[in-house]
Structures are given as C-alpha cells and as structure tokens.
Amino acid sequence: MDKFINNRWVMKIIALLLAFMLYMSVSIENSVTQQTESKPSPFSGSTDVQTVTDVPVESLYDRENLVVSGVPQSVTVTLEGPTASVKPTALQKDFEIIADLSNLGIGTHQVTLESRNLSERLSVAIEPSVASVTIHERISEDFPVDVDFINRGQMEEGYQAEQPIVKPNIVKVTGSRELIESIALVKARVDLKGVNESIEQQSRVTVYDREGNTLNVEIDPPVVDVNVPITSPFKSVPLKINRKGSLKEDLSITKIEAEPNEVTVYGPKSAIDKLEFIDNIELDLTEITESTTIEVDVPVPDGVKRVVPEKVKINVEVEKEEQKTFTNVPIQQIGLSEGLELEFIDPENGLMDLTVLGAPSTLEGVNSSDMEMYINVTDLNAGEHEAPLEINGPQNVSWDLPKRNVKFRLIEETNE
C-alpha cells in the first residue's frame, strides 16, 4: 500500500481528479446563479397577506341631482405583496375603494368596485367586488314636523301635556322621487314617562311611510327643538286675610277686600286636594291711617308649585269710629249639664248693656239681635262660679262692656 501511495504517477492522477472535481463544482454553481438572475421574481424579500375589514366605499356620482342605493357601506379588502408594503398599507388604510357611477344613467347597474392609491407591488381582492346599484332622480320637499308623545299615560297623576312648539316646524326632506312620494309622517318623539314639569329638549326627526316603516332619506335639519308645556293639577281657593295689630282709636274698618279674592294653585294632586284656602296673608292695621290699597305677595303653600296670580291687591276702607249702645242685652249660656239650673248673681237679672264701636255705615245695619253675648259653663258642677263674657258680632266692629266677668250659681234640679 505504501508503494502505491509513494508512486509518483498515482499521485499525479489523484491530483488531476481533484482539480477536475473542483472545476465542475464551481461551474455548476455559476450556472445556477445565472439562471436565477435571468428569471424575475414578483416579490423581493419576504411576502405577506393582510385582510382589512370595514373599509368604507366612496361613491362617485352627481349628488345634486341623483340618489343611489345598493352601494355597500363597507367591504373587506385582502392585500398581498412584500411585507414592507403590505403591513404599513393595512395599518394606515391610506387607500380607497370606489364605486364609480359618474357615467351611469338612472336605473339599476352592476358596478365593479375599484381600489385607488394602492402600490402596484400589491395585489388586492375586494369582497364583495360587485354591487347592484340603483340610481334615482333626487328631489327635495318641505314637510311639517309633528310631535309623537310616548308613555303619555305614565305622566304623574293630574298632569297634562299641552300643544307642543317645534322649532323649526318644517324640515326639508331629500331622497329619491319614489321615497319622497311615499312619505306619510314626519315626527319628533318626546317621552312623557314620569313628567311633572314643562319639557325643553332636542329631538331627532324621523320620516315614515304609510305602513309605518322608517325611510332612509336626508332631513335638514335632522334635529329640532321641542317645547312641551305641562300643566299640573289646579284648583281655585279663596284668600283669608289675617289682621295684625289695631287701628288708631278714632278709626274703624268698613271693608277689607282682596282683588281678586281667589287664586289658582298648581301642584301635585295630593297637595292641592287638601288645600281649602290660603290664610297666611297678614294685614298690619297699625300702618293703616286712611282708606288705601296695598299690594301683597301671595304665599305659596307647602307642596304647591305655583300660585296665580303671584300678587293681589287689598283694598282697605276706614271711617271715623262711632259707637252704638244696646241696653239690657240678655246673657246666654252654653254647655249647661243636664240636671242643673243656672241662676245669675251678678248681674242679678242676667242682662247687660253692650256698646258697639264701628264706622257709621257699619253701625247703621247692626241691631241687638246681631250681637250674641254668652258664658260657657261646660263641665261645671253645682255651686257658685265666675266666667268671662264672650261675644260674637258682625265683622269690622268692636265692643265695650261695663264688666267682663259674670257671677252665677249652678243648682241641681229637684224632682217634685
């Protein structure tokens, strides 16, 4: 074996074979490289596929004179190409999908959707790629806006919705001739559930056909201002004027009268049902020196929302005071228990003079029968007692007595 390896010719033949093998290897590699360079590739580097959803579709047509339907609002776009181009395009969505209708007439057409602003290095697939589009004549008409009350039966008890005010009360509706001719109602809705006061709100305008279906049309303006006056339960109640203090000694009242003498109260039914009159209006007599008219605020009772009118006038008429004396007016008694008799001690005869003070015009119509003079003996037992005199008489008069108390005796009745 050593002799074979050490043989010079053998070594030359081996070296020649190795050189030939090296030459063939380099030659084959160059050939493959040349073939690869001579055959172009559609994409350089790595490739990618991205799907973009909800891409809006832009329609191109004469918007002043035409209306279209059938164009999808959005489509799905699939992009394929070099990663360096696909990913930024999918993220930025800086391309458009177009439905070009500019050269089409009125009627229905099959329209192929197109892409714009996309690199030529990208391939694109649109889904859907074709739309059935109908082109209509565009017209506009004015329609009045009605208000549709919902939940009217769920207002607070006793409250009522009055005629609403809509601003503007007429809107311009634009659409295809077919849609405009099918319009039956144009309404703004107001929810009255739980309402107990006037409403001011903005309401969206909706257009309906004769079957009550909502129509897809343009409305200008799409929102209107609605004012709904709400009236609460109410009733009229009289005024009671409370006198405070006293007039000067030489004056007497002939008339105190409120103008008007009734007011209207508004509020929850539970509050006004139990209200019989308004009595916390005070008239300070110490400030009255002559006949006069005073304007006063009408107080709003608890639970009541408002009072109409808010102010009333009080007419006060006074005259110089005079007096009139009635003699031997009998003293009555109330509350005498069964089985007892009353015997006067002082005054012994149970009679007393009574002086009435007032304006001449008032005193003129007053007589002794108009004056009630009595003592209250309720719950008193047999024996001697003393009780204050009480007097009822016409309004706007006062009185004077020779004495204020009466002495009397209660005696048990005897059965003979």
What is the pLDDT, as a whole number, of residue 300? 92
Q: What's the Rg (C-alpha) of the chain?
A: 53
The b/e string for 264-276 (b: 16+ C-beta within 10 A; e otherwise) is ebbbbeebbeeee
What is the distance between the alpha carbons of residues 400 and 213, in angstroms, rounded to a whole number? 85
What band does 11 get if pLDDT is binned at 50, 70 and 90? low
Give the percent of the chain with pLDDT over 70.
Answer: 89
3-state secondary structure of 21: helix
What band does 40 get if pLDDT is binned at 50, 70 and 90? very low
> Which of 104, 137, 170 is the last residue before a domain boundary?
137
Residues 117 and 158 in one domain: no
Residues 74 and 112 in one domain: yes
Residues 359 and 278 in one domain: no
Asked whether residue 14 is domain-assigned, the answer is no
Asked whether residue 9 is domain-assigned, the answer is no
Report the C-alpha dihedral over residues 153, 156, 158, 162, rounded to 10 degrees.
-70
> Which of 320, 346, 375 is the last residue before a domain boundary?
320
Lowest mean pLDDT among 22-26, 307-311, 358-362: 22-26
Task: Decide if pLDDT at 15 tops 90.
Answer: no
Asked whether residue 216 is domain-assigned, the answer is yes
> Which of 212, 231, 250 is the last residue before a domain boundary?
231
Residues 265 and 340 in one domain: no
What is the pLDDT, as a whole number, of residue 46? 85
What band does 28 get if pLDDT is binned at 50, 70 and 90? very low
Segment 31-53 shows an average pLDDT of 58
Task: Decide if pLDDT at 78 tops 90.
Answer: yes
Instruction: Give the CATH number of the domain where residue 336 resides.
Output: 2.170.120.30
What is the pLDDT, as a whole number, of residue 222? 96
Kind plus residue range of the DSSP H or E element containing 280 = strand 278-284
Residues 315 and 326 in one domain: no
All residues at 6 or more sequence positions from 193 whose CB lies less than 8 Å from its CB, including other chains: 150, 151, 154, 155
Asked whether residue 390 is domain-assigned, the answer is yes
Instruction: Give the CATH number of the domain where residue 276 resides.
Output: 2.170.120.40
Asked whether residue 32 is domain-assigned, the answer is no
Asked whether residue 27 is domain-assigned, the answer is no
What is the pLDDT, as a whole number, of residue 8? 65
Kind plus residue range of the DSSP H or E element containing 11 = helix 8-38
pLDDT tens digits, 329-342: 999 999 999 889 99
Beta-strand ranges (E) seen in 153-250 are 160-161, 165-167, 170-176, 183-191, 199-209, 218-220, 223-228, 230-231, 234-244
Residues 312 and 328 in one domain: no
When divided into structural domains, the chain yields a total of: 4
pLDDT tens digits, 156-207: 888 889 999 999 999 999 999 889 999 999 999 999 998 888 999 999 999 9
Residues 53 and 132 in one domain: yes
What band does 10 get if pLDDT is binned at 50, 70 and 90? low
Name the residue range of residue 403's domain. Answer: 322-412
Asked whether residue 23 is domain-assigned, the answer is no
Residues 305 and 337 in one domain: no
Residues 329 and 403 in one domain: yes
pLDDT tens digits, 125-153: 999 999 999 999 999 999 999 999 999 98
pLDDT tens digits, 282-310: 899 888 888 899 999 999 998 888 899 99
Give the percent of the chain with pLDDT over 90.
Answer: 56
3-state secondary structure of 108: strand
Asked whether residue 338 is domain-assigned, the answer is yes
Residues 400 and 380 in one domain: yes
What is the pLDDT, as a whole number, of residue 37? 36
- Residue whose C-alpha is closest to residue 85's, from 120, 116, 39, 58: 120
3-class SS shares of the chain: helix, strand, coil, % to 5: 15, 50, 35
Cα separation values, 94 from 55, 98, 117, 315, 358, Å: 10, 13, 7, 83, 99
How high does pLDDT run on average in the chain? 87
